[in-house]
Chains A and B, each alone.
Chain A
Amino acid sequence: MNPELNRVELIRNRRHIGEWVTLSLVLLWFFILILIPIFGIIRETFSQGLDAVKTSLATPASLHAFWLTILLTTSAVILNTLFGTILAIVLARQNFKGKLILESLLDLPFAVSPVVAGFMLIILFGSTGWIGSWFSSMNIKIIYALPGMLIATLFVTFPFVAREILPVLREFGPEQEEAASTLGASQWQTFWRITLPTIKWGLVYGVTLTIARSIGEFGAVLVVSGSIINKTQTATLRIHDQFSDFNYAGAFSAALILIVASFLLLNFIKHIYKTKGGNTS
């Protein structure tokens, strides 16, 4: 080994004092905010042994809660991907009066507290509410039932897909789509072959955020669902319920499952992006 080269290498690797400070700060922050809490959850989960975890997770109520979370998440992803995409395309490609207002309203779910959103839905869809009374007369229950929970989940996850796609559509502009139309492509062909591949990664990211938010949603769903065991209790509501009942093994084991599921999902998408996202754009 050339000693001269080695020295150069050493100098290059030497950090400034400022870099040491910032790095330590970041690591400390990360440790306090993320690693210690996760470690705490894992410790609590297994503090009463593996059997306690198994029994509390295998109860019908827990299984139903997980099933409900999966159902709500899947429905929210499908519906908001569809409408979010259409909304983004309309906002990016069409001009109409009130467009700016509509676009600023799109951020409302970010600004409104989920609990407040839940109460809004009760006012609207409750059995005496403006719209709810009509459904009530048709014998359809919205609040304290699945439809209300879906609406609440849709509301809080509404902006993600549209917000991720919109800047991509704006950046690319209408030219590629116009080129496709002059080459004889129908609107449908243009969407599948030009627009969709263009917004693909924005869409993937928007869907990821929607999934993560749907799984973790608590406030709005709590208000509109009433958290009825075996009926309207989602996984997060179940965790809260068990925690209140001092069933820590049950609460933390469910929490751990949600954490692992979200973590795996995020990394899976990151992995796909790394292996496939780089080569075309």
Chain B
Amino acid sequence: MNGIKVENLTKKFEDFVAVDDVSFEVKEGELVALLGPSGSGKSTILRIVAGLETQDRGHVYLTGENVTSLDPRKRKIGFVFQHYALFKHMTVEKNIAFGLEVQKKNKNLIKEKIADLIELVKLNGHEKHYPNQLSGGQRQRVALARALAPEPKVLLLDEPFGSLDSKVRKNLARWIRHLHDRIRVTSIFVTHDQNEAMEISDKIIVVNRGRIEQIGKASEVYEHPKSKFVASFVGNVNVINGRTQDSQIALNGTEGRIDKKTKDIPDNQDIVFLVRPEEVSIKRTASKPTSIPAVIEGIHYRGSFYEVDLRVGDNEIKSIIQKENYKKNPLIVGERVFILFTQFKVFEASEGHQAIHRMLKQLGYIE
């Protein structure tokens, strides 16, 4: 096992359980995202792997070696902080050289290494600059070069793009993906941004309340979420209230019925089901018995697609239509239509539905 392995990590801060029995593996050369909302414990997990935080229970293995009780400085890791944590009194090249200098490496080797890394992170011409003379994106690239200089066995990034504006953030995230394809160092990065996680990682570990909810490829996590939390946190989603009746689902406040799909939930039970906006298709005629009547309440142009607000009984549902499809068949606000769900997930309403609803509101996924 040449990657990263953690077993049964648990960490309490007084009464608060920040990390609760977490185990996972990262294969050699993988770039894995630890994804979760703020306060979910993802950063604490990363800091435990780095040795910056001490766990109450559990083990950490880096490239097969048990480093559980090892000092961070002996773990041979590279760590990139959200707020860069650059040495403010040192120039760019001094920052990058630091790890090699404290390990008393040969001076010529250090010089070569700095030149290589400056080239790699494209900071030519900034060697003699101080951190406060650089932009946010440049600072984070210095932080990355500094972490890579001592040739760490694993690279750990704590919300590496968290304090950058969205455009720089996107570019840097893509650039890191390309960089990783070149240097292939086993990496974990922490993020609360699901798009970022899906875009650049080989694998996503979804964390909620200190526990792992799901581990899988981006497409698996998105298309086959194992829990309501994963479904709602990863990607936009409609949260629709309904009730099981006669082996079907009745949407609250409407005559519409849909097939239940799952046999686990008995009849006469309150349920929620989650549908992604792109899985809501709009028709002018009722094509199937499970078509649901809806009214169009709003149409928003979003560049490459249109976002359509629909009212179905007590529920508000969003649908996304690609621009070219929309142009063939434009809609009008107030029009009565029928909708079909191409894919959805049903969960019992009792399992903390209210809490999830509140969280989604806070995150701005629903109104």
A interface residue numbers (CB < 8 A to B): 172, 175-176, 178-186, 189, 193-194, 197-198, 280-281
Contact = CB atoms under 8 A, between A and B. Distances in A.
Interface in B117-149: 130, 132, 143, 146-147, 149
A193 B94 CA distance: 11
A182 B78 contact: yes
B102 A182 contact: no
Given A175-B81, A175-B83, A189-B102, A182 B50 contact: yes
A281 B88 contact: yes
Contact of A183 (B71, B88, B102, B130): B102
A184 B150 contact: yes
A48 to B, nearest CB: 53
A281 B89 contact: yes
Contacts, number: 71
In this complex, the member of A180, A186, A197 whose beta carbon has the largest number of chain B beta carbons within 10 angstroms is A180
A180 B79 CA distance: 10
A281 to B, nearest CB: 6
A183 B73 contact: yes
Contacts of B99: 183-185
B52 interface: yes
B77 interface: yes
13 contacts: A176-B85, A178-B52, A178-B72, A178-B79, A179-B85, A179-B146, A182-B75, A182-B147, A183-B98, A183-B102, A184-B73, A184-B74, A184-B150
Contacts of A186: 73, 102
Contacts of B305: none
B73 A176 contact: no
Interface in B23-69: 50-52
Contacts of A185: 73, 98-99, 102
Contacts of B78: 182
In this complex, the member of A176, A182, A280 whose beta carbon has the largest number of chain B beta carbons within 10 angstroms is A182
A182 B79 contact: yes
B43 to A, nearest CB: 12
A255 to B, nearest CB: 40
Given A175-B81, A186-B102, A193-B98, A181 B87 contact: no
Nearest to A183: B99
A208 B146 CA distance: 36
Contacts of B83: 175
Given A178-B72, A193-B98, A183 B146 contact: yes
Given A184-B73, A186-B73, A281-B88, A179 B102 contact: no
B103 interface: yes
Given A184-B102, A184-B103, A175 B85 contact: yes
Interface string B145-162: 011011000000000000
Nearest to B94: A193
A196 to B, nearest CB: 10
Contacts of B50: 182
Contacts of A178: 52, 72, 79, 81, 85
B170 to A, nearest CB: 25
Given A182-B73, A182-B75, A183-B150, 18 more contacts: A176-B86, A176-B87, A179-B85, A179-B143, A180-B87, A181-B52, A182-B51, A182-B52, A182-B77, A182-B147, A183-B102, A183-B146, A184-B76, A184-B102, A186-B73, A189-B102, A197-B89, A280-B88
A198 B52 contact: no
B79 A280 contact: no
Closest 6 CB pairs of A and B: A183-B99, A175-B85, A182-B79, A185-B102, A179-B85, A197-B89
B136 to A, nearest CB: 15
Contacts of B102: 180, 183-186, 189, 193
A185 B76 CA distance: 11
Contacts of A198: 88-89
B46 to A, nearest CB: 11
Contacts of A183: 73, 98-99, 102, 146-147, 149-150
A101 B79 CA distance: 35
Interface in B72-116: 72-79, 81, 83, 85-89, 98-99, 102-103
Contacts of A193: 98, 102
A194 B101 CA distance: 13
Nearest to B103: A184
A281 B131 CA distance: 9
B88 A181 contact: no
A280 B89 contact: yes
A176 B98 CA distance: 12
A181 B87 CA distance: 12
Contact of B98 (A172, A180, A281): A180
B87 A179 contact: yes
In this complex, the member of B52, B89, B99 whose beta carbon has the largest number of chain A beta carbons within 10 angstroms is B89
Nearest to A180: B98
A124 to B, nearest CB: 38
Contacts of B71: 181
Nearest to A197: B89
A220 B51 CA distance: 48
Contacts of B52: 178, 181-182
A175 to B, nearest CB: 4
A175 B80 CA distance: 10
A47 to B, nearest CB: 51
A71 to B, nearest CB: 34
Given A186-B102, A193-B98, A193-B102, A179 B81 contact: yes
